[in-house]
Amino acid sequence: MTVLTSADSGSIARGAQILREGGLVAFPTETVYGLGADAASAWAVARIYDAKGRPSFNPLIAHVANIEAARREAVLPDAALKLAEAFWPGALTIVAPAAPGGSACELARAGLPSIALRVPDHPVARALISALGRPVAAPSANRSGHVSPVTAAHVAEDLSGRVDMILDGGRTATGLESTIVSFCGARPTLLRPGAVAREKIERVLGAKLAAPIRAEIMAPGMTASHYAPNARLRLEAHEIRAGESALDFGGRLTALAAPGTVVLDLSPAGDLVEAAANLFAYLRELDARGVEKAAVAHIPERGLGEAINDRLRRAAAPGLSQIPAQ
């Protein structure tokens, strides 16, 4: 059941508690309504993808309270700090290398070494982030492929019954998504035009923004291969071969494993949300255990299974290329 409520101090406090408990809260920003989850919780972030019907694990923007909070999450070069000081709070998203010890989970970053950050300029959004005390991961609060919402009613039309709370803060002021600028390469790069004009950004930087080197990095997760373990993955496995470990789902391979075989089950119960939450952590666990070859169980191609299988296919692809994108 979804609670739609006016965004007063009491409902914002309740919304922060819902986020702490792994729930989803839709809230207004100055751009569009966002679908928020605790960015530190892979389980909660997986619920975002499930609620939106998002076709792949694209990186999510982590909304933070201020520049100091952003610096705990990312390594911000001087040029990025200049933009932050000029446009935050506001409709600018900065992509930068993730800081060691940052709180945002890997699923929110889609396994990339970068993180996307924004300080929103809306009193409800800022109050919710402050009440949680951690970054809030939030894409637009609509079903994937639908028009971004600018009112709480728009959110309810798309997501009623799929989120825990909708904070109604009225119509958003801008109605256009944030501009995204990356600082992961040699030059600041415009990844997405948005509510802050390119010309304003270039005036602050004193230089032109670069275009992405390859068109596919304009959209997250579009490279042929993505984060992968060192192990060679064999997908759609129905048995564990000699010398293999296993990445299981629903216990399908566990019962076949010889004693001492490393088996990590994404979800013993066959829950796709749980499997999504565990995916990146378990891929890294294969590395930590020194696994060279791994059989991967069949995962249904429905709901979040589509995105999980997409990432597994990229992880199994040759010529791994970790290109920061947003």
Domain boundaries, the chain: 3-218, 232-316
Q: Do domains 3-218 and 232-316 have the same CATH topology?
A: no
Rounded to whole angstroms, the Cα distance separating 159 from 156 reads 5
- Residue 128 half-sphere exposure, CB side, CA atoms within 13 Å? 38
Largest Cα separation within the chain, whole Å, is: 64
pTM for this prediction: 0.83
- Residue 62 half-sphere exposure, CB side, CA atoms within 13 Å? 35
Is the per-residue pLDDT at 213 higher than 80?
no
CATH class of the 3-218 domain in this structure: alpha beta
H/E run at residue 235: strand 232-237
Task: Tell me phi and psi for residue 180, to 5 degrees.
Answer: -115, 125
Query: What pLDDT does residue 171 have?
Result: 92
DSSP secondary structure code for residue 210 in this structure: B
| Beta strand extents in 11-131 (DSSP E only) | 25-28, 33-38, 61-63, 92-97, 114-118
Number of helical H runs and strand E runs in the chain: 9, 14
Exposure string for 42-76, b = 16+ CB within 10 A, e = fewer: bbbbbbbbbbbbbebbbbbbbbbbebebbbebbbb
* Architecture in CATH of 232-316: 3-Layer(aba) Sandwich (3.40)
Confidence bin at 222 (pLDDT 50/70/90): very low
- pLDDT tens by residue, 77-124: 999 999 999 999 999 999 999 999 999 999 999 989 999 999 999 999
Amino acid found at 64? V
Query: What pLDDT does residue 240 have?
Result: 97
Rounded to whole angstroms, the Cα distance separating 164 from 46 reads 14
Rounded to whole angstroms, the Cα distance separating 298 from 224 reads 21
- 97 or 212, which is more confident: 97
Confidence bin at 322 (pLDDT 50/70/90): very low
Is the per-residue pLDDT at 200 higher than 60?
yes
- Decide: 239 and 221 in contact? Cβ < 8 Å: no
- pLDDT tens by residue, 148-189: 899 999 999 999 999 999 999 999 988 888 999 999 999 999
**Dihedral, 74, 75, 81, 85 alpha carbons, nearest 10:** 20
Sequence-separated (6 or more) residues with CB below 8 Å from residue 16:
128, 131, 132
Task: Tell me phi and psi for residue 174, to 5 degrees.
Answer: -95, -45
